[in-house]
Structure 1
């Protein structure tokens, strides 16, 4: 990206709607900025332009893909919406998109305190609704992680919120794709069929979703179970298929890896909870990416005894460790304090065979998620049944009708642009 095309504070951009947007500050990346309505300095938005490694000579293909996806999902309330777009200029400036803003991500919320079970179910149910939208169009989200789940209404000081005030949406549509062959997903949330067969289908999103639920439940625990994992040198990754897109290729590695899960991190309110979870606790942060990858491959192959599952019969798998009992991961979760019914639910969702794994719609209709729609938890711990399904639907619809463009932090934004009024 040319230096002259970099975004900067105080810059004004005009969208197709003829609305002017005043840039305020970068949001973690140089190509993603917060902005306000230039006229009112009230409503807050996100302005995003192509990343520096996107090819301008090829008309920014990655960014164009994201713009196409934003248009495709423009009417889906479970997905962060495009508000406006800013066309490329005759001077070579790239296109930009204007996105609605939410208060934070699930990653931010989890770092502040453990979430209540009802909060977890509310957030992950809404995330699942976003996945249903993606899968119904025959696509794979392919990048599900806490940083890509956007949340508003989270109170870091209240541990017993029932989740009714939360608004959750999927963000970042940059690599949404049709089913294909290759390697995608963050290492921790990568499905076993992607590791060993390079098969990218909607089922891989469900695996990631299940692991996210698992990590949020683990974060409620104050009894971490450190795990020592040694990945033998023969846990090499088979090469991706020859027809895989270049962006999905990955390198082979034959390094060995040994790591121990990190100790629990104290939360701001004094409650200890684990900041790492299943398959994220195999990496101390000091080794190579290939070492983390091998450790996860080794753990998956042994936790699920993939050698015994016909789906993986044609795969090159790590050698079976006879001292590593099948299902050890579920035992560790119970030791950490995850409830029996939660573990049973995770077993169902995280079926290692993607052809047997439930669909997003099936998970959405599961009793584990629906029970949180039918009960309201009182402050004293009592539970009362919602009068009928109609009331539950009314409450859900009300949450969906909340303002699309959340005007949080307006005072801070005004001060940043020097327009705070007394």
Structure 2
């Protein structure tokens, strides 16, 4: 497939002009801003998600510094449509792979993510795709590893009453996806909280350990079922309250999962020793990882949790 832009191409935005210097992905380029001389990201994709990301950022970026901001829109060429976004040094997946985060760093990252989610959620929006590669970082100096942390990729951010939520669309990547989204029984802001908790577990353990990653490849017919089995294994059993939100077909799936993972194969997260996770970190994770979405705390409640002020 031919590239949408070429290296050295001149782009005219509403606020400045740019020169394309590098292609990162099929729809992502780096460019130089002629006015500020800074590196920026050019994002262009023939999909409604681009326009959606623009609209979401225009509405919310003035309310929080924890969202990666929109800088400009490209006017010439007008096709394909393209956004100019802030460039940060790396994403959290790469940063945490290169060096395990310290506890203060994890708390700093968590606070920034929750701050962005709180603004979205308080206004009735769901990000739907919380994962380490959608959290961007700028490296600091000295003892400050991250000078900035911002949540990115708002292309799939939608209102809780949108047709996507009402139709129970599949959202996000499977290993970060909440059980209610996986089961397609309806989702809202609590789905982001589950994904945040899953991300937090990965940061605490380090070494790219994904708690819900199945032991089969992604194209295996049981891949998503086995994710649900792991969710049940660590944070289950699925509560009886699911009868209030799930239909008979879904309840049959949960019954099948519980038969596949009998009591002797359960691995309750609450029983993990302090050699692997501190008592305070475990308590915070357990507040978040509730299988019934109605039981999860809000982003606002989590920001006020004593976990952020404890040593």
Flag the 1:194–1:306 CA change in 2: closer, same or farther, 3 A: farther
Measure the CA separation in 2 of the matches of 1:300 and 1:338.
18
1:196 to partner: Cα distance: 2.5
Measure the CA separation in 2 of the matches of 1:88 and 1:135.
35
Aligned partners of 2:13 and 2:73 also within 8 Å: yes
For the pair 1:196 / 2:194, whether they are aligned, the reply is no
1:206 to partner: Cα distance: 0.5
Aligned partners of 1:334 and 1:343 also within 8 Å: no
Measure the CA separation in 2 of the matches of 1:88 and 1:201.
38
Counting only pairs closer than 5 Å after superposition, residues 245-256 of structure 1 correspond to structure 2 as none
Counting only pairs closer than 5 Å after superposition, residues 219-238 of structure 1 correspond to structure 2 as 219=206
Query: Alignment partner for residue 25 of structure 1, among 19, 22, 29?
Result: 22
Query: Alignment partner for residue 30 of structure 2, among 31, 34, 37?
Result: 34
Query: Alignment partner for residue 120 of structure 2, among 134, 140, 144?
Result: 134
Measure the CA separation in 2 of the matches of 1:364 and 1:347.
15
Moved more, 308-317 or 189-198: 308-317
Give SS of 1:166's match: strand
Flag the 1:208–1:154 CA change in 2: closer, same or farther, 3 A: farther
For the pair 1:275 / 2:272, whether they are aligned, the reply is no
Flag the 1:197–1:39 CA change in 2: closer, same or farther, 3 A: closer
TM-score normalised to structure 2 length? 0.86
Aligned partners of 2:175 and 2:210 also within 8 Å: no
Q: State the Cα deviation string for residues 314-349 of structure 1 (Å, max 9, x = none).
A: 433134232445552343x43761112211111011
Provide the residue aligned with 1:382 in structure 2. Answer: none
* Count of residue pairs the alignment pairs up: 295
Counting only pairs closer than 5 Å after superposition, residues 107-256 of structure 1 correspond to structure 2 as 107-153=93-139, 161=143, 165-179=146-160, 180=165, 181-219=168-206
Which ranges in structure 1 are unaligned for 5 or more consecutive residues? Answer: 55-59, 220-273, 373-422
Query: Alignment partner for residue 51 of structure 2, among 64, 82, 88?
Result: 64
Aligned partners of 2:74 and 2:81 also within 8 Å: yes
Give SS of 2:277's match: coil
1:74 to partner: Cα distance: 3.0
1:312 to partner: Cα distance: 4.4
Q: Which runs of 4+ in 1 moved over 4 A?
A: none
Structure with greater helix share of residues:
2
Measure the CA separation in 1 of the matches of 2:51 and 2:172.
20
1:8 to partner: Cα distance: 1.0
